[in-house]
Amino acid sequence: MEKQVQETIKILKQGGIVIFPTDTAFGIGCRIDNEKAIEKLFKIRKRPETQAVPVLVSSLKMAEDYLLPISEEVVNKLIKKYWPGALTIVLPCKAEKVPDLVRSGGLTLGVRMPASKILLKIIEAVGVPILGPSANFHGEKTPYKVEDINPKLINLVDYVFPGKTSDDKISTVIDCSKKPWRVLREGAVKISNKQKAILIIDTASNQVIKVELRIDSNEYAIRQKMRLRKKAQVVLPMIEKILKKHDLRLEDLSGIEVNTGPGSFTGLRVGIAVANALSFILKVQINNLEKDGIVEPVYQ
């Protein structure tokens, strides 16, 4: 086995492309700093250039060399808990160090530390992250065994490292480049500690409508001066605007809060009506009122 390990390291260092087993599926990769190898990998896999690829690292320090400062929250809640393992984390990256094809022209990078001691040894010896998409032509099934790999693809690479995967599931992918975090693909790891996004509606004033988002401990607000008779027409567009600003959908809301007074009766009625309608549609709590699992509407 050591002979195959050293051969893999040698080929990757020289800019070759290798198929290898990970702790999830078989991957195909090359070093992150060889753009010709990256272009070749995209070409032989028939992968669209508009699709970014994940990279595999051997340590948190290696990941930090290519990423912008990682928040303590991500380190404590995800990296320390799930690495090494089947969790790919998308984070803002140092774009000047990551080839355009790898990040598909964006400013983020998907990174994973695999739970395979042999693969970690290989990556560490290469000295830089290696690309880690699944070893298949674009659109084909993910291979979990050597016999699942298309022979035509095998003929196009420089080396196939023998071995077995330790799981038959793909990695989970979570985007931590924005708040709240969003699971992009569910796989072997189940992420249950979602961040909370609370919508706050305040139509009590006759002069100003205020719509806020509370994402964990952070609050973001937009305000609009308004005549009373116009409130009903602008509340929903304001909600849409603030959600879009934070790359959220209504379905991402975990709760709603609404000002129930004191204030203008007509204004309060508008806000409460919108809140009740959204809580009913989304099946989320309003003003933290819930009884036997059923959302209780707010009446005023």
The CATH number for 99's domain is 3.90.870.10
Q: Are residues 130 and 239 in the same domain?
A: no
pLDDT at residue 297 in the model: 52
Residues whose CB is less than 8 angstroms from the CB of residue 152 and which lie 6 or more positions away in sequence, other chains included: 137
Q: Are residues 178 and 205 in the same domain?
A: no
On whether the CB atoms of residues 280 and 295 are closer than 8 A, the answer is yes
Domain boundary among 154, 185, 216: 185
On whether the CB atoms of residues 31 and 15 are closer than 8 A, the answer is yes
Cβ atoms within 10 Å of 225's Cβ, excluding its own? 9
Residue 265 included in any domain = yes
Q: Are residues 149 and 65 in the same domain?
A: yes
Q: Which residues form the domain of 271?
A: 197-295
Q: Are residues 232 and 120 in the same domain?
A: no
Burial annotation 192-217 (CB, 10 A radius, 16+ → b, else e)? eeebebbbbbbbbbeeebbbbbbbee
Instruction: Indicate the SS3 state at residue 161.
Output: coil
Domain boundary among 185, 217, 252: 185
**Domain count along the chain:** 2
C-alpha torsion sign, points 112, 114, 117, 118:
negative
Q: Are residues 172 and 143 in the same domain?
A: yes
Residue 254 included in any domain = yes
pTM beyond 0.85, yes or no? no
Whole-angstrom distance, CA of residue 269 vs CA of residue 298: 10
Residue 140 included in any domain = yes
| DSSP letter for each residue of 48-66 | -TTS---EE-SSHHHHHTT
Residue 118 included in any domain = yes
Residue 239 included in any domain = yes
pLDDT at residue 190 in the model: 85
Instruction: Indicate the SS3 state at residue 152.
Output: helix
Q: Are residues 43 and 164 in the same domain?
A: yes
pLDDT at residue 295 in the model: 46
Q: Are residues 12 and 161 in the same domain?
A: yes
pLDDT at residue 78 in the model: 94
Q: Are residues 20 and 168 in the same domain?
A: yes
Domain boundary among 129, 152, 185: 185
Residue 160 included in any domain = yes
Q: Are residues 173 and 201 in the same domain?
A: no
Q: Are residues 32 and 132 in the same domain?
A: yes
Single-letter amino acid, residue 102: V
pLDDT at residue 285 in the model: 87
Residue 300 included in any domain = no
Can you give the pLDDT of all 300 residues of the chain as single tens digits?
Answer: 899 999 999 999 999 999 999 999 999 999 999 999 999 999 999 999 999 999 999 999 999 999 999 999 899 989 999 999 999 999 999 999 999 999 999 999 999 999 999 999 999 999 999 999 999 999 999 999 999 999 999 999 999 998 888 877 899 999 999 877 888 998 988 886 556 789 999 998 888 899 999 987 788 999 988 765 567 788 999 999 999 888 788 988 989 999 998 988 888 888 999 999 999 999 888 987 544 444 455 544
pLDDT at residue 277 in the model: 92
Q: How far is CA 32 from the centre of its chain?
A: 20
| DSSP letter for each residue of 71-136 | PHHHIIIIIHHH-SSSEEEEEEB-GGGS-HHHHTTSSEEEEE--S-HHHHHHHHHH-S-EE--BSS
C-alpha torsion sign, points 70, 74, 75, 76:
positive
Residues whose CB is less than 8 angstroms from the CB of residue 83 and which lie 6 or more positions away in sequence, other chains included: 60, 112, 113
Q: Are residues 135 and 269 in the same domain?
A: no
> What residues pair up with 222 in beta bridges, in sequence order?
211
pLDDT at residue 216 in the model: 75
Whole-angstrom distance, CA of residue 206 vs CA of residue 151: 70
pLDDT at residue 289 in the model: 56
pLDDT at residue 124 in the model: 98
Q: Are residues 166 and 230 in the same domain?
A: no
Instruction: Say which CATH number the domain at 216 has.
Output: 3.30.420.40
Residue 190 included in any domain = no
pLDDT at residue 227 in the model: 60
